[in-house]
A and B are shown apart, each in its own frame.
Chain A
Protein backbone atom coordinates (compact mmCIF):
# COMPACT_ATOMS: atom_id res chain seq x y z
CA UNK A 1 0.00 0.00 0.00
CA UNK A 2 2.82 2.35 0.94
CA UNK A 3 4.65 1.61 -2.33
CA UNK A 4 1.49 2.22 -4.27
CA UNK A 5 1.00 5.51 -2.45
CA UNK A 6 4.52 6.68 -3.08
CA UNK A 7 4.32 5.65 -6.73
CA UNK A 8 1.17 7.68 -7.05
CA UNK A 9 2.66 10.66 -5.27
CA UNK A 10 5.64 10.54 -7.59
CA UNK A 11 3.30 10.36 -10.57
CA UNK A 12 1.26 13.35 -9.41
CA UNK A 13 4.26 15.49 -8.52
CA UNK A 14 6.06 14.67 -11.76
CA UNK A 15 3.22 14.85 -14.23
CA UNK A 16 0.48 17.12 -12.89
CA UNK A 17 2.17 20.20 -14.39
CA UNK A 18 2.44 18.69 -17.87
CA UNK A 19 -1.09 17.35 -17.69
CA UNK A 20 -2.38 20.73 -16.59
CA UNK A 21 -0.66 22.44 -19.54
CA UNK A 22 -2.09 19.92 -21.95
CA UNK A 23 -5.58 20.30 -20.47
CA UNK A 24 -5.21 24.07 -20.42
CA UNK A 25 -4.53 24.24 -24.15
CA UNK A 26 -7.40 21.91 -24.88
CA UNK A 27 -9.84 23.91 -22.79
CA UNK A 28 -8.18 27.37 -22.81
CA UNK A 29 -9.59 27.84 -19.36
CA UNK A 30 -7.81 27.54 -16.03
CA UNK A 31 -10.67 26.17 -13.94
CA UNK A 32 -11.60 23.62 -16.58
CA UNK A 33 -8.02 22.48 -16.97
CA UNK A 34 -7.66 22.07 -13.22
CA UNK A 35 -10.85 20.04 -13.03
CA UNK A 36 -9.83 17.82 -15.90
CA UNK A 37 -6.40 17.14 -14.36
CA UNK A 38 -7.89 16.39 -10.97
CA UNK A 39 -10.39 14.03 -12.49
CA UNK A 40 -7.69 12.37 -14.56
CA UNK A 41 -5.36 11.81 -11.63
CA UNK A 42 -8.15 10.59 -9.37
CA UNK A 43 -9.01 8.05 -12.06
CA UNK A 44 -5.33 7.16 -12.18
CA UNK A 45 -5.33 6.59 -8.41
CA UNK A 46 -8.18 4.14 -8.78
CA UNK A 47 -6.59 2.36 -11.71
CA UNK A 48 -2.99 2.45 -10.56
CA UNK A 49 -2.82 -1.30 -10.10
CA UNK A 50 -3.54 -1.72 -13.81
CA UNK A 51 -0.60 0.43 -14.77
CA UNK A 52 2.36 -1.93 -15.01
CA UNK A 53 4.78 0.36 -16.77
CA UNK A 54 5.08 3.70 -15.01
CA UNK A 55 7.12 5.01 -17.92
CA UNK A 56 4.03 4.71 -20.05
CA UNK A 57 2.05 6.72 -17.51
CA UNK A 58 2.33 10.08 -19.25
CA UNK A 59 0.88 8.85 -22.54
CA UNK A 60 -1.83 6.97 -20.64
CA UNK A 61 -2.72 10.03 -18.58
CA UNK A 62 -2.70 12.36 -21.57
CA UNK A 63 -5.17 10.05 -23.24
CA UNK A 64 -7.39 10.27 -20.16
CA UNK A 65 -7.05 14.06 -20.18
CA UNK A 66 -8.22 14.18 -23.80
CA UNK A 67 -11.17 11.89 -23.10
CA UNK A 68 -12.11 13.66 -19.92
CA UNK A 69 -11.97 17.03 -21.60
CA UNK A 70 -14.04 15.77 -24.53
CA UNK A 71 -16.54 14.13 -22.22
CA UNK A 72 -17.03 17.11 -19.99
CA UNK A 73 -16.62 20.07 -22.20
CA UNK A 74 -16.55 19.50 -25.92
CA UNK A 75 -20.04 18.10 -25.93
CA UNK A 76 -21.16 21.25 -24.21
CA UNK A 77 -19.88 23.24 -27.18
CA UNK A 78 -18.86 26.03 -24.89
CA UNK A 79 -17.16 28.74 -26.81
CA UNK A 80 -14.48 29.89 -24.41
CA UNK A 81 -12.60 32.38 -26.50
CA UNK A 82 -10.58 34.44 -24.09
CA UNK A 83 -7.38 32.98 -22.81
CA UNK A 84 -7.10 33.27 -19.07
CA UNK A 85 -5.54 36.65 -18.55
CA UNK A 86 -3.44 35.37 -15.67
CA UNK A 87 -1.73 32.95 -17.99
CA UNK A 88 -1.35 35.41 -20.78
CA UNK A 89 0.43 37.73 -18.46
CA UNK A 90 2.44 35.40 -16.30
CA UNK A 91 6.18 35.11 -16.48
CA UNK A 92 7.96 34.00 -19.61
CA UNK A 93 11.62 33.08 -19.71
CA UNK A 94 13.73 36.19 -19.69
CA UNK A 95 15.85 34.84 -22.53
CA UNK A 96 13.05 35.51 -24.95
CA UNK A 97 11.08 38.53 -25.79
CA UNK A 98 8.16 38.31 -23.39
CA UNK A 99 5.83 40.19 -25.68
CA UNK A 100 6.40 37.62 -28.42
CA UNK A 101 5.62 34.77 -26.06
CA UNK A 102 2.43 36.49 -24.97
CA UNK A 103 1.53 37.19 -28.56
CA UNK A 104 2.12 33.54 -29.31
CA UNK A 105 -0.10 32.43 -26.42
CA UNK A 106 -2.96 34.48 -27.71
CA UNK A 107 -2.41 33.17 -31.20
CA UNK A 108 -2.29 29.54 -29.97
CA UNK A 109 -5.54 30.07 -28.11
CA UNK A 110 -7.13 31.34 -31.30
CA UNK A 111 -6.00 28.41 -33.43
CA UNK A 112 -8.77 26.08 -34.47
CA UNK A 113 -8.79 22.96 -32.25
CA UNK A 114 -7.83 20.78 -35.24
CA UNK A 115 -4.54 22.69 -35.43
CA UNK A 116 -4.01 23.37 -31.76
CA UNK A 117 -4.47 19.88 -30.41
CA UNK A 118 -1.91 18.03 -32.56
CA UNK A 119 0.57 20.87 -32.09
CA UNK A 120 0.24 20.73 -28.31
CA UNK A 121 0.52 16.95 -28.36
CA UNK A 122 3.68 17.16 -30.43
CA UNK A 123 5.41 19.96 -28.52
CA UNK A 124 4.30 19.29 -24.94
CA UNK A 125 3.59 15.58 -25.16
CA UNK A 126 6.50 14.62 -27.39
CA UNK A 127 4.23 12.50 -29.54
CA UNK A 128 5.24 11.55 -33.07
CA UNK A 129 2.89 12.37 -35.95
CA UNK A 130 1.99 8.67 -36.18
CA UNK A 131 1.08 8.53 -32.47
CA UNK A 132 -0.97 11.70 -32.74
CA UNK A 133 -2.76 10.26 -35.77
CA UNK A 134 -3.68 7.16 -33.78
CA UNK A 135 -4.84 9.18 -30.78
CA UNK A 136 -6.95 11.55 -32.85
CA UNK A 137 -8.24 8.94 -35.28
CA UNK A 138 -6.99 10.76 -38.36
CA UNK A 139 -4.29 9.99 -40.91
CA UNK A 140 -0.65 10.71 -40.31
CA UNK A 141 -0.65 12.93 -43.39
CA UNK A 142 -3.47 14.97 -41.90
CA UNK A 143 -1.51 15.42 -38.67
CA UNK A 144 1.57 16.52 -40.60
CA UNK A 145 -0.47 19.07 -42.51
CA UNK A 146 -2.11 20.35 -39.35
CA UNK A 147 1.09 20.80 -37.34
CA UNK A 148 2.70 22.47 -40.33
CA UNK A 149 -0.20 24.86 -40.80
CA UNK A 150 -0.37 25.57 -37.09
CA UNK A 151 3.26 26.59 -37.06
CA UNK A 152 2.86 28.66 -40.20
CA UNK A 153 -0.04 30.56 -38.67
CA UNK A 154 1.92 31.22 -35.49
CA UNK A 155 5.03 32.27 -37.38
CA UNK A 156 2.95 34.71 -39.38
CA UNK A 157 1.75 36.25 -36.13
CA UNK A 158 5.29 36.65 -34.88
CA UNK A 159 6.51 37.96 -38.20
CA UNK A 160 3.77 40.51 -38.23
CA UNK A 161 4.75 41.65 -34.78
CA UNK A 162 8.51 41.46 -35.10
CA UNK A 163 9.02 42.94 -38.51
CA UNK A 164 6.01 43.31 -40.73
CA UNK A 165 8.11 44.25 -43.74
CA UNK A 166 10.20 41.07 -43.80
CA UNK A 167 7.71 38.28 -43.46
CA UNK A 168 9.87 35.80 -45.35
CA UNK A 169 12.50 35.65 -42.61
CA UNK A 170 10.82 32.77 -40.79
CA UNK A 171 7.55 31.72 -42.27
CA UNK A 172 8.60 31.68 -45.89
CA UNK A 173 12.10 30.42 -45.60
CA UNK A 174 11.33 26.71 -45.58
CA UNK A 175 9.89 26.85 -49.04
CA UNK A 176 12.87 28.67 -50.46
CA UNK A 177 15.42 26.12 -49.40
CA UNK A 178 16.37 23.66 -52.11
Chain B
Protein backbone atom coordinates (compact mmCIF):
# COMPACT_ATOMS: atom_id res chain seq x y z
CA UNK B 1 0.00 0.00 0.00
CA UNK B 2 1.44 3.37 -0.94
CA UNK B 3 1.11 6.46 1.20
CA UNK B 4 -1.72 7.92 -0.90
CA UNK B 5 -3.85 4.80 -0.43
CA UNK B 6 -2.87 4.66 3.22
CA UNK B 7 -3.92 8.26 3.85
CA UNK B 8 -7.13 7.75 1.96
CA UNK B 9 -8.09 4.80 4.14
CA UNK B 10 -6.98 6.55 7.30
CA UNK B 11 -9.11 9.58 6.46
CA UNK B 12 -12.22 7.92 5.12
CA UNK B 13 -12.37 4.50 6.74
CA UNK B 14 -10.04 4.25 9.72
CA UNK B 15 -11.39 0.84 10.71
CA UNK B 16 -10.44 -0.81 7.43
CA UNK B 17 -8.40 -3.96 8.31
CA UNK B 18 -5.84 -3.11 5.63
CA UNK B 19 -4.67 -0.27 7.84
CA UNK B 20 -3.75 -2.69 10.58
CA UNK B 21 -1.73 -4.70 8.12
CA UNK B 22 0.08 -1.53 7.09
CA UNK B 23 0.65 -0.72 10.76
CA UNK B 24 2.09 -4.16 11.42
CA UNK B 25 4.60 -3.63 8.62
CA UNK B 26 5.01 0.08 9.51
CA UNK B 27 4.69 0.72 5.81
CA UNK B 28 4.51 3.43 4.68
CA UNK B 29 6.88 4.73 7.36
CA UNK B 30 5.05 6.07 10.39
CA UNK B 31 1.98 3.91 9.66
CA UNK B 32 2.13 2.12 13.00
CA UNK B 33 1.93 5.34 15.00
CA UNK B 34 -0.74 6.87 12.78
CA UNK B 35 -2.96 3.80 12.92
CA UNK B 36 -2.52 3.61 16.68
CA UNK B 37 -3.64 7.22 17.02
CA UNK B 38 -6.52 6.73 14.62
CA UNK B 39 -7.76 3.65 16.47
CA UNK B 40 -7.51 5.43 19.81
CA UNK B 41 -9.73 8.17 18.43
CA UNK B 42 -12.15 5.64 16.93
CA UNK B 43 -12.54 3.95 20.31
CA UNK B 44 -13.42 7.26 21.91
CA UNK B 45 -15.77 8.09 19.07
CA UNK B 46 -17.56 4.78 19.44
CA UNK B 47 -17.83 5.20 23.20
CA UNK B 48 -19.33 8.63 22.66
CA UNK B 49 -21.85 7.35 20.13
CA UNK B 50 -22.89 4.40 22.25
CA UNK B 51 -25.47 6.15 24.37
CA UNK B 52 -27.40 3.91 26.72
CA UNK B 53 -30.89 2.97 25.50
CA UNK B 54 -33.72 3.51 28.00
CA UNK B 55 -34.06 0.66 30.46
CA UNK B 56 -36.67 -1.86 29.39
CA UNK B 57 -36.92 -0.54 25.83
CA UNK B 58 -37.00 -4.00 24.24
CA UNK B 59 -39.61 -5.25 26.73
CA UNK B 60 -41.75 -2.20 26.12
CA UNK B 61 -41.66 -2.71 22.36
CA UNK B 62 -42.41 -6.42 22.68
CA UNK B 63 -45.35 -5.70 24.97
CA UNK B 64 -46.71 -3.16 22.53
CA UNK B 65 -46.29 -5.49 19.58
CA UNK B 66 -48.10 -8.24 21.48
CA UNK B 67 -50.91 -5.80 22.16
CA UNK B 68 -51.21 -5.01 18.47
CA UNK B 69 -51.24 -8.69 17.59
CA UNK B 70 -54.12 -9.46 19.91
CA UNK B 71 -57.41 -9.40 18.04
CA UNK B 72 -59.51 -8.95 21.16
CA UNK B 73 -57.94 -5.72 22.33
CA UNK B 74 -60.24 -2.80 21.94
CA UNK B 75 -57.40 -0.50 20.94
CA UNK B 76 -56.48 -2.91 18.16
CA UNK B 77 -60.08 -2.99 17.03
CA UNK B 78 -60.21 0.78 17.05
CA UNK B 79 -57.04 1.05 15.02
CA UNK B 80 -58.27 -1.57 12.57
CA UNK B 81 -61.48 0.33 12.21
CA UNK B 82 -59.52 3.52 11.62
CA UNK B 83 -57.43 1.73 9.01
CA UNK B 84 -60.47 0.35 7.23
CA UNK B 85 -62.10 3.75 7.10
CA UNK B 86 -58.83 5.04 5.73
CA UNK B 87 -58.81 2.43 2.99
CA UNK B 88 -62.37 3.31 2.12
CA UNK B 89 -61.46 6.96 1.91
CA UNK B 90 -58.45 6.24 -0.23
CA UNK B 91 -60.45 3.94 -2.49
CA UNK B 92 -62.83 6.73 -3.32
CA UNK B 93 -60.16 9.39 -3.35
CA UNK B 94 -62.41 11.28 -1.03
CA UNK B 95 -59.85 12.18 1.58
CA UNK B 96 -57.27 13.64 -0.74
CA UNK B 97 -59.78 15.63 -2.72
CA UNK B 98 -61.27 16.88 0.48
CA UNK B 99 -57.92 18.02 1.88
CA UNK B 100 -57.23 19.93 -1.28
CA UNK B 101 -60.52 21.71 -1.15
CA UNK B 102 -60.25 25.44 -0.72
CA UNK B 103 -63.05 25.66 1.85
CA UNK B 104 -65.66 23.56 3.59
CA UNK B 105 -69.27 24.02 2.63
CA UNK B 106 -70.44 23.42 6.18
CA UNK B 107 -69.79 21.84 9.50
CA UNK B 108 -70.49 18.29 8.39
CA UNK B 109 -67.86 18.58 5.65
CA UNK B 110 -65.33 19.76 8.20
CA UNK B 111 -66.19 16.79 10.41
CA UNK B 112 -65.78 14.35 7.53
CA UNK B 113 -62.43 15.89 6.62
CA UNK B 114 -61.25 15.50 10.22
CA UNK B 115 -62.31 11.84 10.30
CA UNK B 116 -60.45 11.30 7.04
CA UNK B 117 -57.39 12.98 8.44
CA UNK B 118 -57.46 10.77 11.52
CA UNK B 119 -57.58 7.64 9.43
CA UNK B 120 -54.59 8.45 7.25
CA UNK B 121 -52.17 7.14 9.85
CA UNK B 122 -54.00 4.86 12.29
CA UNK B 123 -50.77 3.48 13.74
CA UNK B 124 -50.18 6.86 15.38
CA UNK B 125 -52.81 5.85 17.88
CA UNK B 126 -50.36 3.35 19.37
CA UNK B 127 -47.84 5.98 20.41
CA UNK B 128 -47.01 5.86 24.10
CA UNK B 129 -44.00 8.10 24.53
CA UNK B 130 -44.85 11.59 25.67
CA UNK B 131 -43.84 14.51 23.50
CA UNK B 132 -41.91 17.03 25.63
CA UNK B 133 -44.11 19.89 26.78
CA UNK B 134 -41.74 22.45 25.21
CA UNK B 135 -42.26 20.89 21.78
CA UNK B 136 -46.03 20.89 22.20
CA UNK B 137 -45.93 24.55 23.19
CA UNK B 138 -43.79 25.38 20.19
CA UNK B 139 -46.11 23.46 17.88
CA UNK B 140 -49.08 25.45 19.20
CA UNK B 141 -47.10 28.65 18.88
CA UNK B 142 -46.58 27.86 15.21
CA UNK B 143 -50.36 27.74 15.00
CA UNK B 144 -50.72 31.13 16.64
CA UNK B 145 -51.49 29.96 20.17
CA UNK B 146 -49.41 30.73 23.24
CA UNK B 147 -50.45 28.11 25.75
CA UNK B 148 -51.07 29.19 29.30
CA UNK B 149 -51.27 25.97 31.27
CA UNK B 150 -49.88 22.75 29.93
CA UNK B 151 -52.35 20.72 27.85
CA UNK B 152 -51.21 17.62 29.72
CA UNK B 153 -49.64 14.50 28.23
CA UNK B 154 -49.39 14.42 24.42
CA UNK B 155 -48.13 11.35 22.60
CA UNK B 156 -47.94 12.68 19.08
CA UNK B 157 -47.81 16.18 17.70
CA UNK B 158 -47.48 17.19 14.09
CA UNK B 159 -48.47 20.27 12.10
CA UNK B 160 -50.78 19.26 9.24
CA UNK B 161 -53.18 20.96 6.85
CA UNK B 162 -56.86 20.02 7.10
CA UNK B 163 -58.58 21.44 4.05
CA UNK B 164 -57.94 25.17 4.02
CA UNK B 165 -56.89 25.22 7.67
CA UNK B 166 -53.46 25.07 9.24
CA UNK B 167 -53.93 22.40 11.87
CA UNK B 168 -52.06 20.71 14.66
CA UNK B 169 -52.59 16.96 14.86
CA UNK B 170 -52.21 15.50 18.36
CA UNK B 171 -52.72 12.08 19.87
CA UNK B 172 -53.39 11.70 23.59
CA UNK B 173 -53.46 8.36 25.39
CA UNK B 174 -56.49 8.81 27.63
CA UNK B 175 -58.17 6.59 30.18
CA UNK B 176 -60.45 4.86 27.67
CA UNK B 177 -58.04 4.71 24.75
CA UNK B 178 -56.29 7.04 22.33
CA UNK B 179 -57.93 10.34 21.44
CA UNK B 180 -56.99 12.24 18.28
CA UNK B 181 -57.15 16.02 18.48
CA UNK B 182 -57.03 18.46 15.60
CA UNK B 183 -56.56 22.09 16.47
CA UNK B 184 -57.68 24.08 13.43
CA UNK B 185 -56.22 27.57 13.34
CA UNK B 186 -58.72 30.27 12.32
CA UNK B 187 -61.60 27.80 11.98
CA UNK B 188 -64.10 30.18 13.56
CA UNK B 189 -67.45 29.55 11.92
CA UNK B 190 -68.40 26.28 13.55
CA UNK B 191 -70.68 25.39 16.44
CA UNK B 192 -69.96 23.24 19.46
CA UNK B 193 -71.29 19.85 18.47
CA UNK B 194 -70.81 16.14 19.06
CA UNK B 195 -70.83 13.94 15.98
CA UNK B 196 -70.42 10.38 14.83
CA UNK B 197 -68.92 9.68 11.41
CA UNK B 198 -68.09 6.22 10.09
CA UNK B 199 -67.71 4.70 13.53
CA UNK B 200 -65.67 7.60 14.90
CA UNK B 201 -67.02 9.54 17.85
CA UNK B 202 -66.20 13.23 17.61
CA UNK B 203 -66.71 16.59 19.24
CA UNK B 204 -66.04 20.04 17.86
CA UNK B 205 -65.11 22.70 20.41
CA UNK B 206 -65.04 26.33 19.21
CA UNK B 207 -62.21 28.31 20.75
CA UNK B 208 -61.18 31.95 20.45
CA UNK B 209 -58.80 31.64 17.53
CA UNK B 210 -59.79 28.31 16.08
CA UNK B 211 -61.58 25.03 16.73
CA UNK B 212 -60.57 21.87 18.49
CA UNK B 213 -61.87 18.59 17.12
CA UNK B 214 -61.61 15.51 19.33
CA UNK B 215 -62.06 12.03 17.85
CA UNK B 216 -61.95 8.60 19.45
CA UNK B 217 -63.70 5.29 19.69
CA UNK B 218 -65.71 6.67 22.59
CA UNK B 219 -66.40 10.18 23.90
CA UNK B 220 -65.79 9.15 27.52
CA UNK B 221 -62.53 11.11 27.75
CA UNK B 222 -63.71 14.20 25.87
CA UNK B 223 -64.86 16.23 28.89
CA UNK B 224 -61.56 16.29 30.81
CA UNK B 225 -59.59 16.83 27.61
CA UNK B 226 -61.84 19.68 26.51
CA UNK B 227 -61.46 21.29 29.93
CA UNK B 228 -57.67 21.05 29.82
CA UNK B 229 -57.38 22.40 26.29
CA UNK B 230 -59.86 25.20 26.86
CA UNK B 231 -57.91 26.29 29.90
CA UNK B 232 -54.55 26.04 28.17
CA UNK B 233 -55.60 27.68 24.89
CA UNK B 234 -58.25 30.20 25.90
CA UNK B 235 -57.58 30.48 29.62
CA UNK B 236 -61.22 29.56 30.32
CA UNK B 237 -62.90 26.41 31.57
Contacts and interface: CB of A to CB of B under 8 A. Distances in A.
B47 A93 contact: yes
A123 B41 CA distance: 12
A124 B34 CA distance: 22
A36 B21 CA distance: 40
Contact of B65 (A42, A72, A158): A42
Contacts of A16: 53, 57-58, 61
- Chain B contact residues, majority secondary structure: helix
Given A12-B58, A31-B130, A21 B50 contact: yes
Contact of B51 (A24, A37, A41, A100): A24
A108 B48 contact: yes
Contacts of B139: 76
Contacts of B62: 8-9, 12
A120 B49 contact: yes
B14 to A, nearest CB: 8
Nearest to A16: B58
Contacts of B52: 87, 90-91
B147 interface: no
B161 interface: no
Interface size band for B: 35 or more
A174 B10 contact: yes
Interface string B25-45: 000101100100110011111
Interface residues of A, number: 59
A148 B11 contact: yes
13 contacts: A21-B50, A25-B49, A35-B129, A45-B69, A104-B44, A108-B48, A123-B42, A123-B45, A129-B12, A148-B11, A174-B7, A177-B3, A177-B7
Given A8-B65, A37-B61, 12 more contacts: A12-B65, A16-B57, A16-B58, A20-B54, A24-B51, A37-B57, A39-B123, A92-B47, A96-B44, A101-B44, A104-B47, A123-B45
Q: Which 8 A/B pairs are nearest by Cβ-Cβ distance?
A: A104-B48, A20-B53, A144-B12, A45-B65, A87-B51, A16-B58, A35-B129, A17-B53
Interface of A: 8-9, 12-13, 16-17, 20-21, 24-25, 29-31, 34-35, 37-39, 41-43, 45-46, 72, 76, 78, 87, 90-93, 95-96, 100-102, 104-105, 108, 120, 122-124, 128-129, 144, 147-148, 151, 154-155, 158, 169-170, 173-175, 177-178
